[in-house]
Amino acid sequence: NAGVMQNPRHLVRRRGQEARLRCSPMKGHSHVYWYRQLPEEGLKFMVYLQKENIIDESGMPKERFSAEFPKEGPSILRIQQVVRGDSAAYFCASSPGGPDTQYFGPGTRLTVL
Amino acid sequence: DQQVKQNSPSLSVQEGRISILNCDYTNSMFDYFLWYKKYPAEGPTFLISISSIKDKNEDGRFTVFLNKSAKHLSLHIVPSQPGDSAVYFCAAWTGANNLFFGTGTRLTVIP
């Protein structure tokens, strides 16, 4: 049973470009969580999704960031018009239920030049 | 607003000795606490958890202690092994949609 997959593992973008981060949850998991870790900080919750629904996006910046978890395919975290401050590690976690049973992916390290 | 705090960014311990990692929280609504371990270039992996109705939970070399009145928890690793060298995150849950993480403590176990 494969774990949570994230790709790409490393992503370099120039300011103003778009970044798309993908997350494939563990088999049988229908709950996906996205976290961001800025340098020297802990993981900060961004968004919680179930299939085709955003359940809680209270941690998402109001502009430029969006997330989806379609019926088929991976969850996508999309950042439009990236800025240098978006440089961080973005972790996805999946769960069969609540966040107390999350399994994390290896993360995507986004670097904005 | 950092609701979960790990005030020691790093800790070095000799192999075989006890490692004690500390975590403080401010939100009295937290009722479940977790510790995660993270190696470089990997995602966090769950280590051990404790419910607020308990004050201690033990799993092999790992024990978590919870002091609700002080809003403090600690993770004890004994005996410490070089493979325990990693960043340890404390996390707390209110029962809602997300976990709140501390900033992490980097543990180095010296052979």
pLDDT, tens digit, 9 for 90 and up, residues B84-100: 999 999 999 998 888 99
The strand pairing partners of B51, in sequence order, are B32
Q: For residue A104, give how far its alpha carbon lies from the nearest alpha carbon of chain B (Å).
A: 5
A31 contact residues in B (CB cutoff 8 A): none
The mean of the pLDDT values for chain A is: 93
- pLDDT greater than 70 at residue A1: no
> What is the DSSP pairing of strand A65-68 with strand A88-95?
unpaired
- pLDDT of the residue at B2: 85
Which residue in B46, B88, B98 has the most chain A C-beta atoms within 10 A of its own C-beta, making it the best mutation to test that interface? B98
- Are A100 and B99 inside 8 Å of each other by CB? yes
Contacting residues of B for A44, CB less than 8 Å apart? 101
B101: left (phi over 0), alpha (psi -120 to 50) or beta: beta
